[in-house]
Amino acid sequence: MKRLLKIFNILFLFLFSFTYTTVQAETTQPQINAEGCALIDASTGEVLFGKNEEKVLEPASTTKVMTAIIALEKCKLDDEVTVQEDFTKIDGTAIGLLKGDVVTVRELLLGLILESGNDCANALADHISGNISEFAKLMNAKAKELGALHTNFKNPSGLPDPEHTTTAHDLALFLREALNNKDYMTISNTPSYTINIKNNPQKTILINNKNYMINKNSKYYYPFAICGKNGYTTKSNHTYVAAAEKDGHVLVASFLNALDKDKNFHDMQTVFNYGFDNYSLVHLYKEGDKVSEYKINDDLTIPLIISKNIDYIVPKGKENSISSEIELEDKDLSKQSFDKDDNIIKGTVYVNNKEYISVDLKAGTSRHYESPISINSLSQNNNTPILIGASATILAGLFGLRKLIKAKYGKK
């Protein structure tokens, strides 16, 4: 009996140890070679994994994500740009542009994102702002708009500068913004491209995409990768920011100051796998859904339509533990006119009874409000006799005044 009990205890301890190890393996955080790292959910912006994510470091050519964002905001893709300086006068990577070359904004963005051309970055800055320092002001203003409070840009390319710095978290926010631009996504997923110089048809420049995670022929290929930008200087070491999507769930990850370029690509896949394996995206509300209504009076109720998708990130296995509701702000709409799809009121989304996010709600139907003292309202309320009487009194007064004037001055 004692022998059986001993065997049972050993078996129990073995099973317990196995179970514990399995749980730990699922939640073990990634071990990566980068000094700074942030993994965020693209929909909510929530940080899912971080390693010195707020430490200020140099971004190198991942800077060019912000350069592209500004260019796409300020320019049309077919705008023509005349290059202001030879590539030989610019430090770092270049695609070979010479002063006087005429290319389009689209071609400059392709050279910027695919080949990381510093000559393309400078050409865009000159075209948009006249010089690099003025363009940097636009970059810094946009960074603050996106909530990146620890970033300071000094140039559009990422060349070393002690004051040109960011954080892994801020860098992830920049790519999160770029994901919303269809032109950025199209350009960043172009495998290769041949640039034809407009004023010199004999000159062409072939460029190739250096984001190997989207290249099916690369040993670094990752099937869920959707875009990315890497960089390097001797001061910053290797940097990388990328996005991946699996089953509709989009993640953004960034690395700063990584020592091993080869390991960088593998580490990025490890970080993405950690996010996909441990977190789920719950869709609370879909843009265009009716989520509430506003009662104007007993005869009129306005449907309220949500203006954007509202999502929530949860650990795997907790998807069914989420409850949500929308509370309307205290606002009087009884005397307001509005058209269908106008934002008319704000709602606060609560998740599990905790405040989560504020969102604009649109009118599901139009409404034209008329004041009770308006002419139409008076007419509709059978006040026509009053109006006629008032008009007659005014006319009689005018007629009497005319006779008085004529009697006094008629002889003259």
Q: Matching CATH topology for 31-280 and 286-363?
A: no
353 Ramachandran zone, left/alpha/beta (phi>0; psi -120 to 50)? left
Residues tagged active-site: 61, 64, 116
- Among 235-249, 308-322, 357-371, top mean pLDDT goes to 235-249
- Of 290, 285, 287, 235, the C-alpha closest to 57 is 235
**Helix or strand holding residue 22 (H, E):** helix 2-27
Q: Which residue has 């790519």 as its token pair? A: 175
The pLDDT tens digits for 329-348 are: 999 999 999 999 999 999 99
pLDDT of res. 397: 59
Question: Which DSSP state fits 361?
Answer: E
What average pLDDT does this structure show over 255-280?
95
Residue list for the binding site for substrate: 229
Residue list for the binding site: 229
Strand runs labelled E in 107-203: 192-196
Contact (CB, 8 A) for 212 and 96? no
pLDDT of res. 371: 80
Burial class (CB in 10 A: 0-12, 13-18, 19+), 85: middle
Strand runs labelled E in 182-317: 192-196, 204-208, 225-233, 237-246, 249-258, 279-285, 290-297, 300-306, 310-315
CB-facing half-sphere around the CA of 236: CA atoms within 13 A: 29
Least confident segment among 7-11, 60-64, 325-329: 7-11
The pLDDT tens digits for 8-20 are: 444 444 433 333 3
Question: Which DSSP state fits 30?
Answer: P
Instruction: Report whether pLDDT(278) > 80.
Output: yes
Q: With the CA atoms of 292, 296, 298 and 304 taken in that order, what torsion angle do they form, in degrees rounded to the nearest 10?
A: -20
Contact (CB, 8 A) for 171 and 162? no
Cβ neighbours of residue 120 under 8 Å, at least 6 residues apart? Answer: 94, 95, 97, 108, 109, 111, 112
Least confident segment among 104-113, 121-130, 280-289: 280-289
For 62, list phi and psi in degrees, rounded to 5.
Answer: -65, -15
C-alpha distances out from residue 277 to 25, 251, 252, 271, 315, Å: 11, 12, 15, 10, 9
- Of 124, 146, 144, the C-alpha closest to 134 is 124
- Of 229, 215, 217, 256, the C-alpha closest to 109 is 229
- Rounded Cα distance between 239 and 318, Å, is 34
The third-level CATH classification (topology) of the domain covering 31-280 is: Beta-lactamase (3.40.710)
CATH architecture type of domain 286-363: Sandwich (2.60)
Token reading at 13 = 């301890």
Contact (CB, 8 A) for 38 and 172? yes
Cβ neighbours of residue 108 under 8 Å, at least 6 residues apart? Answer: 71, 81, 120, 123, 124
Contact (CB, 8 A) for 347 and 362? no
- Rounded Cα distance between 73 and 181, Å, is 10
Work out the pLDDT band at 378, boundaries 50, 70, 90.
very low
Residue spans per domain, the chain: 31-280, 286-363
What average pLDDT does this structure show over 312-332?
93
